[in-house]
C-alpha cells in the first residue's frame, strides 16, 4: 500500500505515463488518460494536498499502472 503523497508529486509521477492533470471542467480536478479516455477525480486544495493511499491504489487499478509507481 503506497504512502500518502502530495498532489504535486503525484502529478509529476503520472506525467511519465502520459496521464495529465486537468482542472476546469467540473467541481473537482481530475487525472485524465487521453489514450484510454479514463479519468479519476481528486479533491484538491492546492498542490500540497495529500492524496491518500486508497486514492493512489484506485489510480493504479484504473490506469493499469505498475504497482510500484508511487513507492
User: What pLDDT is recorded for position 26?
Assistant: 81
For the segment 21-34, what is each residue's pLDDT rounded down to a tens digit?
A: 999 888 899 999 99
Count CB-CB contacts under 10 A for residue 65.
18
User: What pLDDT is recorded for position 71?
Assistant: 86
User: What pLDDT is recorded for position 41?
Assistant: 95
User: What pLDDT is recorded for position 25?
Assistant: 80
pTM: 0.90
Cβ atoms of residues 51 and 42 within 8 Å: yes
End-to-end CA distance of the chain: 9
Query: Which residue's C-alpha cell is 481530475?
Result: 30
pLDDT of residue 52 exceeding 90, the answer is yes
CA distances from 31 to 19, 20, 47 (A): 6, 6, 14
Q: What is the mean pLDDT of residues 30-55?
A: 94
Angle 15-3-61 (CA atoms, 0-180°, nearest 5)? 55
Amino acid at each position: 500500500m503506497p504512502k500518502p503523497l502530495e498532489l504535486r508529486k503525484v502529478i509529476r509521477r503520472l506525467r511519465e505515463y502520459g496521464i495529465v492533470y486537468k482542472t476546469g471542467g467540473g467541481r473537482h480536478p481530475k487525472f485524465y488518460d487521453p489514450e484510454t479516455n479514463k479519468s479519476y477525480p481528486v479533491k484538491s486544495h492546492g498542490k500540497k494536498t495529500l492524496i491518500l493511499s486508497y486514492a493512489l491504489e484506485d489510480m493504479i487499478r484504473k490506469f493499469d499502472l505498475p504497482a510500484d509507481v508511487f513507492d
